[in-house]
Amino acid sequence: MFRKRSFAAAVLLQSAIVIIAQDKPTPAYYNYSKGIKSDIILQDDFSKFNNYWLLGVEENSWSESIEDGHLVFQSLTNCSKEDLLPAIIDQKRDFEIEVMLKFVEGQMDKGYGLQWGKAVNPVRQFDFLLTGGGHFTIDKYDGVFNDYVPFTVSDDVNRYAYNKLTVRKVTDKYYFFLNERLVHSMLFEPFFGNLIGFQVGDNSTISVDNIEIAYLADTFPGAPPTRGIKVKESLSKILIMDYKFNIDNEKVTIGKPVTLTVNLSNVGEKDAKDLVITYRLPENVEVVNFKAVSAIRAADEQLMTLQFFANRNYTDSVIPISFDIKGADITNSNDLSLSVTVDKPVSKEIDRTVAQTYSEYRGSNDPLKGLNVAQAMKAVQVGEYYGLVIGIDQYIGEWPPLQNAVNDAKSVGGILQDRYTFHYLKTLYNKDATRDNILREFEWLMQNVKENDNVFIYYSGHGEYLQSMDKGFWVPIDAASKAISKYISNEDIRSFLTGIHSKHTLLVTDACFSGDIFRGKTMTIPYENSTKYYQKIYSLSSRKALTSGGVEPVMDKGKEGHSIFAYYFIQALTKNTEKYCDAGQVFESLKIPVVNNSSQMPLYSPIRNAGDEGGQFIFILK
C-alpha cells in the first residue's frame, strides 16, 4: 500500500516515557536484547548484494542501488514506493526488527521508513515511519489507516543523520524504539503477511544502512538458569514457491480456460496433515477444475492446479486469483498477488520475484538451478550457447585496411570453442562478412534461438558515426564507399537483439564509435561470488554490450598482434579459472589496463529498450 496521506501541521507534544532502572532489564529497556539475539532471520548491511532488493531503475517510477555500503532508494513520482522481502517469522517467539535509515532529499512531509507484517492480498500492513521534517508515526493499514502514534514532532528524529528504528516483540507486547529511546508500547497484533521492507516518500530519496531481524532467547545475560528446558516448537510452513499460467490460445480469451499450476512446499519441521485450501475469484469467473492439496510432509512439495475461465458477463480487464491456506502454522498465501489480463498473453516464465525471494528454502547448491518450472515445475535448465564472431581486415575503396581485426576475432572464437561451453559457433571473416551475410546470421539467430538459450556476438572492424544523424554504424566488407546504404546501423543491431528471444545476449564490439549502442540511463546488479547472485543474474534476462570505447575512435594496434581492447579481453577469458564467469567480471578485469594503456574508455552496460531485466551473460568453462 502506497502511503498517500499527509498530516496536520500542528505539533503534538510527545509524552516522556520514564524507565525505572532495575537489576533485571525489562523489554522496555533498549539494551534488553543485547546478548540474547539467538537466530538471525534476515540481516543485510548492504556491503554487497545479499538479498533480492529491487536494484535497478523503472523509468518515471523508482530507482534503487547499492552505493558505498548503503541501499539508496528513490521515488521518481508523486507516489511513495516500497521494496519488500518475505521474512518468515514465528510470531509465537520473541523477536526484534531493527533498521538504520535516513532522509536524503525530497518532500519533507512525506513518510519514509519501515513496513512489516505486510500482505498484498488484500493489502494490509504495519508502519513505523519518519519524515524529513522530524516527525514519526506508528500505525497499521487494514483498509483504513489506524494510528497507534499519529505523526508527532520529536527531537529524537535525526533530520540529517541515520535513524535507528526498533520493533521488539516480547511475550504478548510490542515495544517501539526510536534511536534507542522507547516511544511506544502496546499489545502485540499478529501479522497480516510475511513481507517486510522499506518505504520512500513521494519524489524523495532515502539511504538504508542496515536491517536485521532476529529471535530473542528466553533468558538475558547473567540471569539464573531457568527450571526445565524449553524446546523449540516444530511448525508447518506452507509456501507458494512458484507458479505458472498456461493457455491453449495466444491470449487470455473470454470463454477459454486458463490453467494455473502452483508449487506448494512445506519448508517447516512438522507435517501439514489437515490442509484446507480455497480459492477466490471474481464474479463471472467460473471454475472448470480445482485439484487441491490436503497434506504435505515436512521438506516435501506438491502441485496444485486451478482451471478457470471468464464468462461473457465478465467486464474487467484483469482477473485476480488468490488462495486461502488453513491448517498450516505459517503460509505466504497473503504475500502474493496473482492475475491474468484478458486479451493479453500469459508469461511463458514463472514469476521471477517469487522464485528468487523464496529460493533460500530450496536447498540447492547449484547456482544455475532452483526454479521449478514448466508443467511439472522442472528445474530451470541452462539453454544452449550460440556464438557469432565477425572480423574484417581487408577493406577496399574509401575504407583503409586494418591489421588486427581478423586475428582478434579468430583468437576470441578459438578460446570460446576450446575453453567454454558453446554448442553453435559461426564465424564471418573478411570476404564472408558482407552486409547481407551478417544480417542473414542475425535472422538465423532470431529463428532458431529459444528462450533459455544464450547468444554471444563479437564484431571487430571499422565503425562509423554520423554526427548529422547522431547515429553509429558497423562497416561490412562490401562497404567500399561511405554510402549509408552499405552500413549496418546500431539501431538495426538493437532491433535484431530485441528480436532474438534468448535468455541472455552479449554483444562485444571492438570498433570506433561502438559506444553509441547504449543511449540512455540503465542500471545493473552488483557482482557477488555467491549462489544467490548467480541464481538471480541467470533467472533475469539480459541484453548487454561490452564495447572498446564510447562515441570515439579506438586503436587497431595494441599488443602481441591484437588491438589493446582485444588483447585484454582475450587475457580475461584465458586466465579465468572459475566455472562460472559473468560478463561484468570480464569487463572489470580489462577496464583498467585498457584505460592505462590507451586513450579509449571501454564501456559495459545494458542495451536500452532491448529487453534487459538486470541479468548477466555467463561464460561456463568446459
Three-state secondary structure string covering 19-58: CCCCCCCCCCCHHHHCCCEEEEEEEECCCCCCCCCCCEEE
Cβ pair 586, 474 in contact under 8 A: no
562 pLDDT exceeds 90? no
pLDDT band of residue 25 (cuts 50, 70, 90) is confident
Q: For residues 547 and 511, what is the distance between their CA atoms, to the nearest angstrom?
A: 8
CA distances from 96 to 19, 30, 91, 480 (A): 19, 11, 11, 71
How much is the pLDDT for 437?
96
How much is the pLDDT for 524?
47
Which tens digit of pLDDT belongs to each residue from 483-537? 888 899 888 888 898 999 999 999 999 876 444 443 333 344 454 444 445 555 6
Extract the C-alpha cell encoding 369.
538451478
Topology of domain 385-620, CATH: Rossmann fold (3.40.50)
- The H-or-E segment that residue 267 falls in is none
21 pLDDT exceeds 80? no
Average pLDDT (74-100) is: 91
Extract the C-alpha cell encoding 91.
510470531
Q: For residues 389 and 458, what is the distance between their CA atoms, to the nearest angstrom?
A: 5
pTM for the whole structure: 0.53
3-state secondary structure (DSSP) of residue 474: strand
Cβ pair 149, 157 in contact under 8 A: no
355 or 413: which leads in pLDDT:
413
Burial of 92 (0-12, 13-18, 19+ CB in 10 A): exposed
How much is the pLDDT for 349?
53
How much is the pLDDT for 105?
95
Q: Which of 73-87, 335-349, 520-534, 598-612 has the highest mean pLDDT?
A: 73-87
To the nearest 10°, the Cα dihedral for 112, 115, 118, 121?
10
The amino acid at residue 497 is L
CATH class of the domain at 30-216: mainly beta
**CATH architecture type of domain 237-379:** Sandwich (2.60)
How much is the pLDDT for 539?
67
Angle between helices 490-499 and 435-448 (to 10 degrees): 20
362 pLDDT exceeds 70? no
449 pLDDT exceeds 50? yes
Which tens digit of pLDDT belongs to each residue from 461-489? 888 877 777 778 889 999 988 888 889 98
pLDDT band of residue 102 (cuts 50, 70, 90) is very high
Instruction: Say which range, 308-322, 433-447, 498-512, has the weakest mean pLDDT.
Output: 498-512
The distance from CA 49 to its chain's CA centroid, rounded to whole angstroms, is 10
What letter would DSSP give residue 621? B
Cβ pair 55, 49 in contact under 8 A: yes
Average pLDDT over all residues of the chain: 82
List the beta bridge partners of residue 272. Answer: 296
Instruction: Say which range, 360-364, 426-430, 498-502, has the weakest mean pLDDT.
Output: 360-364
How much is the pLDDT for 530?
44
Long-range contacts of 432-438 (CB under 8 A, 24+ apart): 432/477, 433/390, 433/391, 433/392, 433/461, 433/476, 433/477, 434/476, 434/477, 434/478, 435/476, 435/478, 435/479, 435/486, 435/487, 435/488, 438/390, 438/474, 438/476, 438/488
How much is the pLDDT for 369?
30
112 pLDDT exceeds 60? yes
353 pLDDT exceeds 60? no
Q: Under the phi-then-psi rule, with left for phi > 0, alpha for psi from -120 to 50, and beta for the rest, what region is 513?
A: left
Q: Which residue in this structure is represented by grid cell 545493473?
A: 524
Instruction: Say which range, 24-38, 123-137, 177-191, 441-455, has the weakest mean pLDDT.
Output: 24-38
How much is the pLDDT for 557?
56
The amino acid at residue 135 is H
How much is the pLDDT for 140?
95
How much is the pLDDT for 518?
37
Average pLDDT (449-453) is: 91
CA distances from 182 to 32, 35, 195, 414, 510 (A): 12, 19, 24, 66, 61
Angle between helices 405-419 and 564-575 (to 10 degrees): 10
524 closest CA partner among 50, 46, 66, 44 = 66
How much is the pLDDT for 287?
94
3-state secondary structure (DSSP) of residue 71: strand
Rounded percentage of the chain residues whose pLDDT exceeds 70: 81
Residue 580 has φ and ψ, to the nearest 5°, of -115, 130
Domain residue spans of the chain: 30-216, 237-379, 385-620
381 pLDDT exceeds 70? no
Q: Quick check: do 30-216 and 237-379 share a fold?
A: no
Sign of CA dihedral 607, 459, 437, 464: positive
Instruction: Say which range, 194-203, 222-231, 415-424, has the weakest mean pLDDT.
Output: 222-231
555 pLDDT exceeds 80? no
The amino acid at residue 341 is T
Q: For residues 614 and 606, what is the distance between their CA atoms, to the nearest angstrom?
A: 8
How much is the pLDDT for 621?
86
